[in-house]
Structure 1
Amino acid sequence: MISRIFRPFALGLSAGLLALAFSASAARAHPHVYVTMKSEIVYDADGRMTGIRHHWTFDDMFSSYATQGLESKETGKFSREELQPLAEVNVTSLKEFDFFTQGKMNGEKAEFEPPVDYFLEQKDDLLTLHFTLPLKKPAATKDVDLEIYDPLYFVAFEFAEKEPITLKGAPASCKLSTLKLGDESQSKTLSESIFSRPDPNNPFGAQFANKIAVKC
């Protein structure tokens, strides 16, 4: 059960980390991992949306244990090259959860290609995952609605304090707005059982979605 819940953010962690994450939080509800997010909605020269680029910074505890056992030239410090195997595991594992990114464009479901340009970097002892989700087909958009969340609420996302979402190359008429839903305090009263048997038609994590809207 633990491995099933943790799979989307496995990052190649050891069994010891899994045990620690679960035992430390078993008496509390999810989440177990916290992510501060920044994202860029990217447009081409013709003003068509081409994809979204995420920058997800993990909390200090997760960042520390994710790198345990990794070899590095400098103890406790890791280059992008040394972290690349973890980045690959990360984006591969996120596939079945649609990379925690749901969206609609002009009322239709946004279809994304697999991630590109992905890598992990370490700064101030924190890990940040960078990756781009290209749209299957660039499109001129009047309305874009995106939601970033983990349906199992194992991972909690929050917007960065400054410029959490930016538009890159968007037409001048496009206006951006963001919204954070849900009261995370209610999750503290829930048992682990709700997460071990999630309802795919009504994912608990959706009520804590970070919402992004672009109107052009």
Structure 2
Amino acid sequence: MSFKRTVLKAGAAIAALLACTVPASVHPHVFAEARLDVVLGPDHQTVKALRHLWRFDDLFSSTVLMEFDANADLKLDAAELQEVANTIHASLADFNYFQLVTVDGKDVKMKPPAAIMANFENNQLIILFESEPETPIQLAGDIRLGVYDPTFYTAIDFTEDANMAVEGLPSSCVRTVIRPDPDAALAENQQTLTEAFFNDPAGTDMSKIFATKLELKCHA
């Protein structure tokens, strides 16, 4: 079963967030402002966890409100918010919860978050969750962290560099926020982009090359 059909079973609003697109419409339809907090281990030598916060645009948030407001009181109570959270939790599982985590260019396996929290504040849907790597990531080499939607349907943006934060980073590491230029990203990855990417980018998982990333370069 495709991801889109799976999500449609859970609710039309979340389908709008995560639905697969066709080549002619590979443009963001849903927008969210994000914050990423990197949690270091007690010795400040490992990445222990990633804390995510996504604040969605008013239009999508109102769609979620209409779809999940079961008692039609124009607000989402605790049970309705839990239903939103559960739906998103299940829907994102096949996509690593939109996380990009690499060390020296190699993907790092992340544990699924135990739960996702949903809130509705100032007419905007807010999603929060924390995830951990299967094993703590040593602060060594080139670590890159970010968020991207492989379907190209959702634009999750870090509007300020400070929204990609890490507290207590040791002096052996340099923190940089990388915001790729789309044209430059295409040029730099020309050798790895297949015909399938240009015919249907949403099916190739290559949107990660356009994602804003927090880079931690660490040396011994």
The TM-score bracket by the shorter chain reads: 0.7 to 0.9
**Following TM superposition, by how much is the alpha carbon of 1:155 offset from its aligned partner in structure 2, in angstroms?**
0.9
**Following TM superposition, by how much is the alpha carbon of 1:59 offset from its aligned partner in structure 2, in angstroms?**
1.1
In structure 1, the residue matched to 2:38 is: 41
TM-score of the superposed pair, with normalisation by structure 2:
0.74
**Following TM superposition, by how much is the alpha carbon of 1:140 offset from its aligned partner in structure 2, in angstroms?**
2.5
Q: Distance in 2 between matches of 1:11 and 1:183?
A: 34
Aligned length: 198
**Following TM superposition, by how much is the alpha carbon of 1:10 offset from its aligned partner in structure 2, in angstroms?**
6.0
1:12-161 equivalences under 5 Å are 12-14=10-12, 28-47=25-44, 48-71=46-69, 75-105=73-103, 108-142=106-140, 143-161=142-160
- Comparing 88-97 with 126-135, which one deviates more in the overlay? 88-97
SS of residue matched to 1:152: coil
> Does residue 214 in structure 1 map to residue 213 in structure 2?
no
TM-score of the superposed pair, with normalisation by structure 1:
0.75
**Following TM superposition, by how much is the alpha carbon of 1:105 offset from its aligned partner in structure 2, in angstroms?**
2.7
Bigger fraction of residues in helix? 2
CA RMSD of aligned residues (A): 3.4
Q: Distance in 2 between matches of 1:26 and 1:215?
A: 36
Structure 1, unpaired ranges of 5+: 185-192
- Identity, in percent, stands at 26
Q: 1:208 to 1:5 in 2, by over 3 A?
A: farther
SS of residue matched to 1:68: helix
Structure 2, unpaired ranges of 5+: 184-197
SS of residue matched to 1:121: strand
8 Å Cα contact 2:150-2:203 kept in structure 1:
no
